[in-house]
Structure 1
Amino acid sequence: MSEPQQGNGTPRSGVDDGEHRRLAPRPLDRPGVDPGQASVFGRPDGVPGAFSSDRPPLNGSNGNGVRLGPPPPEALSTAFGRPQGTSELLQRPPLDLHGEPEAEPVFWEGKPAGDAWRDPGASAVIGPPAVTEEPAKADESRPEPGPQLSVPELLFGRRVKPMGLILLMVAALAVGTAGGVVGWLLGKVGNPLTDGGVTLAEVQPGKERPVGSVSDIAKRVTPSVVSIEFKGANVAGVGSGVVIDGGGYVLTNDHVVAPAVQDTSAKLTVVFTDGKRAVAQIVGRDSKTDLAVIKVQVDNPTVLRFGNSDDLAVGDAVLAIGSPLSLSNTVTEGIVSALHRPVTAAGENGGPQVTYDAIQTDAAINPGNSGGALVDSTGALVGINSSIRTETGGSVGLGFAISGNYARKVSEALIRDGEVKHADMNINVRSASAETAEGAQVQNVPEGGAAAAAGIQERDVITRVGNRVVRNAAELTVAVRDHEIGETVPVVLAREGRELTVQVTLRSD
């Protein structure tokens, strides 16, 4: 068979020459250069290299304008450089005796040159599978199946007569039936609830009470909330209170203890959740903010710690704990409905008007909750339940609690001094509103007061105290009381269509 030929008659590269040698590659076919293309893109006449000789040489260049790199280190030149006096390259073709490149042996030397799996120059063809050995026949390798065991041999290890098996099965069936009947009769007699005419309600396992749940908070907080009973010749009632100090100090509302003060025959009694009772003495009252502190002699009371009521946000969960309608240890749940809600109420028996900065909540608050605790989701005291707003006399979801931070400030002053003083501007105001603004309009400015000293005049409308907006008279009162006596605060007011800011140094009420 003749050798496959290329177009120029030269044997293909990589074809065996019969002596297991690979022939050298055939000569390259270089097509001629188009003179027109050479005149446009060729090197100009007289320029032997890639760069023109008229270019100025650069430092470190070879004279043709090409910047050369620095010479290699001597150690690298000695290890990897060309030997002295030679011009050979690192890669060179082997030469035979006649100076022609030698044909290197093929990698399939010793194998038939026509093997399609070994000849890289062979054409791709589809042939038979590489495995030529025939598999062994299944009939020759599969062993003959042995004799199978019968059921009696499998159960008893030996052959049994068929009649014996039948008798054994009948006996087993009779014993099982008798046992089932006896068990059914015993169950019928022993437990009448299993009667087919009775349906038992399904029950679930006991509920888990994780930390932070309402039941967990109530369990921890209720021992520190007490009932306050007052009973005299003409008065009787029940309120709530919170133990705030290990010395037996209880914080409550002033209107809870006021009847006992007015009736000298009345006696205050504190009732704890475990049923213990103790007579209470009044430590101090603040009728302007409806707060009071009483004290009882008790060992190891559970004290409720204060939280930071300024951290509350509308929507936070809260619990109201107290004794509404004389039902002690009552817990109701709700959310914070509003913050910084000014609340005013008439004083007890013609006393000064009650005004405080309240936390509004929809947790159910009823008569008897007064003085009880409003706690957050951690169980910290954030308010003292004080009043509700209703048209029916019962809870309609509008309850108010005195801010916990302010209640702590007042209670500390009552325990320390027996009384508390508030910051005041010494003016009389009324709520005023117009189409474009609202505030507290000044009605009277007594001489020698803080407002007179700051230049505030009658008919001025105060709209801001410090950082707090003033929209009515009650809000002016709570905004001023939020500061300390002797503190100077900026007050924004409107006078004859102009807005003014005056600095007022607050004084005591």
Structure 2
Amino acid sequence: MSQQSPNGQTSTPVSGVDDGAHRRLGPRPIDRPETDPVLTSTFGRPDGVEGAFARGPEVTPPPVQLAAPPPEALSTAFGRPPYGDELLQRPPGDTPPEPEVDPVFWAGKPAGDPWRDPGAGAVIGPPAVTEDTPAKEKKPAPGPQFSVPELILGRRVKPTSMAILLVVVLLIGAAGGLVGWLVGRAGNPLTDAEVTLAEVAPGKERPAGSVSDISTRVTPSVVSIEFKGTNIAGIGSGVVIDGEGYVLTNDHVVAPAAQDTSAKLTAVFTDGTRAQARIVGRDSKTDLAVIKVEVKNPTVLRFGNSDELKVGDTVIAVGSPLQLSNTVTQGIVSALHRPVTAAGENGGPQVTYDAIQTDAAINPGNSGGALVDSSGTLVGINSSIRTETGGSVGLGFAISGNQARKIAEALIREGKVRHADMNINVKSVSAETSEGAQVQNVPAGGAAAAAGIQEGDVITKVGNRIVRNAAELTVAVREREIGETVKVVLARQGRELTVDVTLKSD
């Protein structure tokens, strides 16, 4: 195509580039270096192929799957409006109108808003304060404040009137308080706010020999005995009977510790001192035992003469019933020379002893504790109770102090006790005219066989003590000494006989 230049000449364009002065430059020569034969053989077009790619087999394209028409709701919301043919995208060449320029609020020519027109230039605004800004006004001075009368009453009041008003208010308050006091007194006529109870000036008198005086002297010599092992634990009581730390107690208190090697005995004194105890000796037949503790200057309880006790005499029991240490209970001697029997520990020999019966409260844990008379001397070792409820019902039994002292001396000296014995087996019998202990077996070589006692004989008396049952025969014989000869009264085939029996050891 020919073009006419401004000077009227016609020029024919050639291939090239316009240099800006309506002149065309010729193309630059093509520099094609020689190719490497190796590369040509590797990347060159195969022989017989004219195009850039080899033609493959003719493939028929699959039919076009047209999309389903859109839902009516979407067409209504997003479809082209029914009127006009304007598209959402403006056609090329459709230039939007220039935005209106917002005028500025100071003198000068209007300029475009830079926040709305990106092509607008930056504009510096006017200063925040001009010379025409009025000076800051001064705050008015505070006015006079209201007084208390004005605040309360709403107007000014004379001082005298205010004082009179205050007096009236006080009088009304006093009158109201007086009325309330009178109403309160009239509401409960049994109360008196001015009462003062009388108090006796001197303290309680505690004469010598009172229960308080006796318990003060006795309790330091009574200890709690605790035994704890792998599978056992319990508590009993004991009495310090010698300054070397010997403690007298019941055999059934220390028997669990003696039978279980893992158990330990501990004596706890009233001041809280705890000392490990060792077993000195046991006598399972009379339910007594002696243990020893290493303490300095213990309080020792003296023995009294239990044979001088009478029924009705006052006695005091001290021990640790139900793990309540230093418990003191008071009662009387209910009976004397009461034979008591009990089963032995773990199949051991039967326990039999001459007991003092008392109604002083004795419960589990009192075992091994002291029973003292009105002078504060030891007359018994609390050992057992008779009950149908498991608790104290006023039938407690203590081993007599004289028997306990004799057995304790033997245990401390030798570690064991030997008792006087007739070497017979008996049972309790009762008839209309008499009662006693009937002989069941007379072993050869024993004291009874040597005295001529036969099976079937009923023993009714040993020395001066009447025998009513088998247990009483046992305690009557144990009161004697080994080797002592004693007169025994018995009934044989309706006749009463008296024989001399020389007692032997069990």
Which TM-score applies when normalising by structure 2? 0.62
Query: 1:168-211, CA deviations, whole angstroms, 9 ceiling, x for partnerless residues?
Result: xxxxxxxxxxxxxxxxxxxxxxxxxxx95264444334211110
1:285 to 282, 299, 305: 282
The corresponding residue for 2:291 is 294
The corresponding residue for 1:360 is 357
1:203 to 194, 199, 202: 199
Q: Report the Cα distance in structure 2 between the residues aligned to 1:420 and 1:463, rounded to whole angstroms.
A: 27
The corresponding residue for 2:339 is 342
Instruction: Look up the equivalent residue of 1:356 and give its one-letter code.
Output: Y
Instruction: Look up the equivalent residue of 1:250 and give its one-letter code.
Output: V
1:503 to 481, 500, 505: 500
1:440 aligned onto 2:445: no
> Which runs of 5 or more structure 2 residues have no equivalent in the other structure?
1-190
Measure how far apart 1:262 and its partner are: 1.1
Measure how far apart 1:334 and its partner are: 0.3
The corresponding residue for 2:422 is 425
The corresponding residue for 1:304 is 301
1:252 to 245, 249, 252: 249
Q: Report the Cα distance in structure 1 between the residues aligned to 2:436 and 2:215, rounded to whole angstroms.
A: 41
Instruction: Look up the equivalent residue of 1:204 and give its one-letter code.
Output: V
Q: Report the Cα distance in structure 2 between the residues aligned to 1:305 and 1:198, rounded to whole angstroms.
A: 55
2:311 to 308, 311, 314: 314
SS state at 2:207 partner: coil
Instruction: Look up the equivalent residue of 1:484 and give its one-letter code.
Output: E
Q: Report the Cα distance in structure 1 between the residues aligned to 2:271 and 2:386, rounded to whole angstroms.
A: 32
SS state at 2:439 partner: strand
The corresponding residue for 2:226 is 229
Q: How does 1:16-415 map to 2 (within 5 A)?
A: 197=193, 199-205=195-201, 206-415=203-412
Query: 1:72-105, CA deviations, whole angstroms, 9 ceiling, x for partnerless residues?
Result: xxxxxxxxxxxxxxxxxxxxxxxxxxxxxxxxxx
SS state at 2:362 partner: coil
Q: Report the Cα distance in structure 2 between the residues aligned to 1:386 and 1:319, rounded to whole angstroms.
A: 14
Q: Report the Cα distance in structure 2 between the residues aligned to 1:365 and 1:211, rounded to whole angstroms.
A: 25
Q: Report the Cα distance in structure 1 between the residues aligned to 2:496 and 2:281, rounded to whole angstroms.
A: 42
The structure-2 alpha-carbon separation of the partners of 1:432 and 1:196, relative to structure 1 and needing over 3 Å to count, comes to closer
Q: Report the Cα distance in structure 2 between the residues aligned to 1:199 and 1:272, rounded to whole angstroms.
A: 46
Q: Report the Cα distance in structure 1 between the residues aligned to 2:330 and 2:378, rounded to whole angstroms.
A: 14
The corresponding residue for 1:46 is none
Q: Report the Cα distance in structure 2 between the residues aligned to 1:198 and 1:252, rounded to whole angstroms.
A: 58
SS state at 1:413 partner: helix
Q: Report the Cα distance in structure 2 between the residues aligned to 1:464 and 1:478, rounded to whole angstroms.
A: 12
The corresponding residue for 2:469 is 472
Q: Report the Cα distance in structure 2 between the residues aligned to 1:389 and 1:410, rounded to whole angstroms.
A: 24
Query: 1:439-491, CA deviations, whole angstroms, 9 ceiling, x for partnerless residues?
Result: 00000001111001100000100000001000000000000001000001010
Measure how far apart 1:312 and its partner are: 0.3
Instruction: Look up the equivalent residue of 2:387 and give its one-letter code.
Output: T
The corresponding residue for 1:109 is none
SS state at 2:223 partner: strand
The corresponding residue for 2:103 is none
Query: 1:352-397, CA deviations, whole angstroms, 9 ceiling, x for partnerless residues?
Result: 0000000000000000000000000000000000000000000000
Q: Report the Cα distance in structure 2 between the residues aligned to 1:394 and 1:197, rounded to whole angstroms.
A: 47
SS state at 1:356 partner: strand
1:460 aligned onto 2:457: yes
Instruction: Look up the equivalent residue of 2:240 and give its one-letter code.
Output: V
Q: Report the Cα distance in structure 2 between the residues aligned to 1:357 and 1:318, rounded to whole angstroms.
A: 17
Instruction: Look up the equivalent residue of 2:320 and give its one-letter code.
Output: S
Q: Report the Cα distance in structure 2 between the residues aligned to 1:202 and 1:233, rounded to whole angstroms.
A: 58
SS state at 1:442 partner: strand
The structure-2 alpha-carbon separation of the partners of 1:454 and 1:275, relative to structure 1 and needing over 3 Å to count, comes to same
The corresponding residue for 1:21 is none
Q: Report the Cα distance in structure 1 between the residues aligned to 2:197 and 2:301, rounded to whole angstroms.
A: 42
Q: Report the Cα distance in structure 1 between the residues aligned to 2:362 and 2:196, rounded to whole angstroms.
A: 39
Q: Report the Cα distance in structure 2 between the residues aligned to 1:198 and 1:276, rounded to whole angstroms.
A: 50
Query: 1:121-157, CA deviations, whole angstroms, 9 ceiling, x for partnerless residues?
Result: xxxxxxxxxxxxxxxxxxxxxxxxxxxxxxxxxxxxx
Instruction: Look up the equivalent residue of 1:335 and give its one-letter code.
Output: I
Q: Report the Cα distance in structure 2 between the residues aligned to 1:202 and 1:478, rounded to whole angstroms.
A: 58
Which TM-score applies when normalising by structure 1? 0.61
Q: Report the Cα distance in structure 1 between the residues aligned to 2:492 and 2:197, rounded to whole angstroms.
A: 75
Instruction: Look up the equivalent residue of 1:293 and give its one-letter code.
Output: V
The structure-2 alpha-carbon separation of the partners of 1:201 and 1:259, relative to structure 1 and needing over 3 Å to count, comes to farther
- Residue correspondences, number: 315
Q: Report the Cα distance in structure 1 between the residues aligned to 2:449 and 2:339, rounded to whole angstroms.
A: 25
1:488 aligned onto 2:485: yes
Measure how far apart 1:263 and its partner are: 1.0
Measure how far apart 1:256 and its partner are: 0.2
Q: CA RMSD in A?
A: 1.0
User: Which structure would you say has the larger Rg?
Assistant: 2
1:416 aligned onto 2:413: yes
